[in-house]
Amino acid sequence: MAVDQLRLEAAVGAVVDPDLDLALGLAHMVGGVRVRRHRAEVVLALPVAAWPGIDDLRRRIAEAATVVPGVEEVAVEVAVMDDAARSALRTRLRRSMAGGPDPEAAAGPAHGGHEDHGDHGDHGHGQAAPVPAFLRADSKTRVVGVSSGKGGVGKSSVTVNLAVALARAGKRVGILDADVYGFSVPKMLGVDHDPVILGDLVVPASAHGVRVVSMGFFVPDDQPVIWRGPMLHKAIEQFLGDAYWGDPDVLLVDMPPGTGDVTLSLAQVMTRAEMLVVTTPQPAAQRVAQRSAFAARKLKLSVRGVVENMSWFTGDDGTHYELFGRGGGQSLAEELGVPLLGQVPLVPALREGGDVGVPVALTDPGGEAAAAFDALAQTLLSLGPARVYRRELSLQ
């Protein structure tokens, strides 16, 4: 059977690049498709030579091409875009971020004469990045901050595992790791590469179907960074405004514990943010978590619910041991007048998964922890976006 060239092009063009979260065809990353009898020859045009996940992309292309009737062999050749093509890609991504024609809508070859081939930004140097479309009121993206009163309660673990559960439920998910006191998300998620920088754009790094931008990518490993308010504000603005997040369903933000500058900055930039508050079952943790929830409300962020972590440990005989007491999540939820959205048990595999960078939902998909995060993901989705953002709340 002869191979249908158009069908082959469509199949290859539909392969998604995980970091851009965009089909190769729309990203203009298919440099050419040729058929020689039963052999498909595909040129993969990388935006930069050090593009992450090349082997994975080769495999995805081979899989997609093999499905086309008549294809028996696939050869993928890798090329690198020239400056003009790279610059055109950056411009298209920028345009879609600003809410202009989506790369998804504006598929096909570049329209002659309309492309901006200059490598300068769409906003001048020193100016704030424009608010990306996904942060605007009419966007479908839910921005969900995950906060806690203090460190060590499992905020990052909840963020990462909830993200993986949402991705497994078919959602497009990003994480902004904004916890300046400990950038743990890339490691927990097993991100093995830095984000690619295209001109003035940051392409989030992805792993396990979740895209991440972390402040940790931009600071040396062994040097503690003292972030001052204005610097932090600028960094957060850039990670929201200069990162190509595309069109995620949910952007989770791993917030720093407590109520400092970062929370304030995020509240200013992400006027639509919803908040989850993570706590452990003991009363002391609950009191500090309450302070952070009240602070979020003062900033008029919509607190949607409480997640209790380390709720119990299940013994071999099925007995629940409540190592950290009980009821903290429920009573915090009652005090805040929001629902307790989920309880996550203490599971050694969860910590191990975080240490090796393969979240527990993937190492033990049928286990107790994975089930807890699947349930939390469903609850969060069924809750729907907050209807009224920036509602005035009386706190006193």
Q: Which residues bind ligand ADP (CB under 6 A)?
A: 148, 151-157, 184, 309-310, 344, 346-347, 350-351, 354
Helical pair 261-269 and 229-241, crossing angle rounded to 10 deg: 40
Instruction: Choose between 141 and 184: whose C-beta lies nearer to ligand ADP.
Output: 184
Instruction: Choose between 12 and 307: whose C-beta lies nearer to ligand ADP.
Output: 307
Indicate the helix (H) or strand (E) that contains 166. helix 155-168
186 binding partner (options Mg ion, ligand ADP, none; Cβ < 5 to 8 Å by kind): none
Instruction: Choose between 235 and 347: whose C-beta lies nearer to ligand ADP.
Output: 347
Indicate the helix (H) or strand (E) that contains 269. helix 261-269
Instruction: Choose between 68 and 361: whose C-beta lies nearer to ligand ADP.
Output: 361
CB of 237 to ligand ADP, least distance (A): 23
For residue 370, give both structure tokens: 């994975």
Site for Mg ion in 128-157 (CB under 5 A): 156
152 binding partner (options ligand ADP, Mg ion, none; Cβ < 5 to 8 Å by kind): ligand ADP
CB of 154 to ligand ADP, least distance (A): 3
Instruction: Choose between 87 and 280: whose C-beta lies nearer to ligand ADP.
Output: 280
**φ, ψ dihedrals at 384, nearest 5°:** 75, 165
Kindly tell me the burial class for residue 270, based on how many C-beta atoms sit within 10 Å of its own C-beta (0-12, 13-18, 19 or more): buried
CB of 328 to Mg ion, least distance (A): 19
Q: How far apart are CA 333 and CA 290, in angstroms?
A: 9
For residue 202, give both structure tokens: 């940051």
354 binding partner (options ligand ADP, Mg ion, none; Cβ < 5 to 8 Å by kind): ligand ADP
Instruction: Choose between 178 and 347: whose C-beta lies nearer to Mg ion.
Output: 178
Whether the Cβ atoms of residue 90 and residue 48 lie closer than 8 Å to each other: no
130 SS3 class: coil
CB of 29 to Mg ion, least distance (A): 34
The position carrying tokens 């490598």 is 119
Listed in order, strand segments (DSSP E) in 47-141 are: 73-80
Indicate the helix (H) or strand (E) that contains 14. none
CB of 374 to ligand ADP, least distance (A): 15
- Count H helices and E strands in the chain, helices first: 12, 17
Q: How far apart are CA 106 and CA 104, in angstroms?
A: 6
CB of 217 to ligand ADP, least distance (A): 17
Fill in the per-residue mask, 162 to 191: x = in contact with Mg ion (CB under 5 A), - = not in contact: -----------------x--x-x-------
252 binding partner (options ligand ADP, Mg ion, none; Cβ < 5 to 8 Å by kind): none
CB of 344 to ligand ADP, least distance (A): 5
Q: How far apart are CA 287 and CA 282, in angstroms?
A: 9
Q: Under the rule (CB under 5 A), what is the footprint of Mg ion?
A: 156, 179, 182, 184
